[in-house]
């Protein structure tokens, strides 16, 4: 299997997922068409951009301009819906899919560029969660990453599992599938049971 082609394919899927959720959040906040398109772009490509820059590489959208196609598609779908609505369960599921795909593709990218294991895990996390963090900050929404749904924990878990399976020389498709499934399961379970990381209680 061509690793570069696989990473590109995964980036394409995660770009569309993140762009659609970003466009939905922006529309719900009352942004105009330009704002919706901008937030969709930021939400979908900033994670991969940071990942590549940390590895001394050009951003993926510079290397592969086709990554703008799913952003435009997500924007057009949001506009075609014609009305704002809160980000529902479907969008959350789509976002979770994007997290799983972005985590795996980011770890693969790091390994293909000879990053140490710990750095590969961190880059997997950065590639997955940065877009959502910037999206929420720019839309003046409390970042999901920092207070609920164990987003970071899910992505880091998937990254570690992928690294472990890769070190065991398992089939690439198996490693990708299992690691992605771990991300999905951890986040979906945390949403269902309202699990969060511990917080410091406020004093009286």
Give a yes or no: residue 109 inside a domain. yes
Question: What pLDDT score does 97 carry?
Answer: 87
CA dihedral 45, 116, 182, 144 (to 10 degrees): -40
Give a yes or no: residue 150 inside a domain. yes
Give a yes or no: residue 99 inside a domain. yes
Give a yes or no: residue 168 inside a domain. yes
Number of structural domains in the chain: 1
Give a yes or no: residue 133 inside a domain. yes
Q: Residues of the chain whose pLDDT is less than 70?
A: 1-4, 7, 83-89, 147-149, 203-204
Give a yes or no: residue 204 inside a domain. no
pTM for this model (two decimals): 0.86
Full residue range of the structural domain in which residue 183 is found: 3-192
């Amino acid at each position: 299997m061509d690793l570069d082609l696989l990473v590109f394919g995964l980036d394409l899927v995660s770009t569309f997922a993140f762009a659609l959720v970003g466009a939905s959040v922006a529309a719900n906040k009352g942004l105009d068409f330009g704002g919706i398109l901008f937030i969709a772009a930021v939400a979908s490509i900033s994670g991969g951009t940071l990942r590549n820059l940390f590895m001394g590489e050009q951003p993926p959208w510079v290397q592969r301009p086709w990554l703008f196609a799913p952003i435009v598609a997500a924007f057009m779908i949001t506009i075609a819906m014609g009305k704002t609505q809160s980000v529902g369960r479907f969008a959350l599921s789509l976002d979770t899919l994007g997290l799983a795909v972005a985590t795996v593709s980011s770890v693969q990218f790091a390994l293909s560029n000879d990053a140490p294991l710990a750095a590969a895990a961190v880059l997997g996390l950065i590639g997955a969660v940065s877009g959502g963090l910037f999206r929420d900050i720019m839309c003046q929404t409390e970042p999901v990453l920092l207070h609920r749904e164990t987003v970071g924990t899910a992505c880091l878990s998937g990254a570690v599992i992928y690294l472990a399976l890769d070190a065991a020389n398992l089939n690439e498709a198996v490693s990708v599938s299992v690691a992605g499934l771990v991300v999905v399961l951890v986040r979906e379970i945390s949403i269902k049971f309202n699990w969060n990381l511990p917080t410091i209680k406020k004093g009286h």
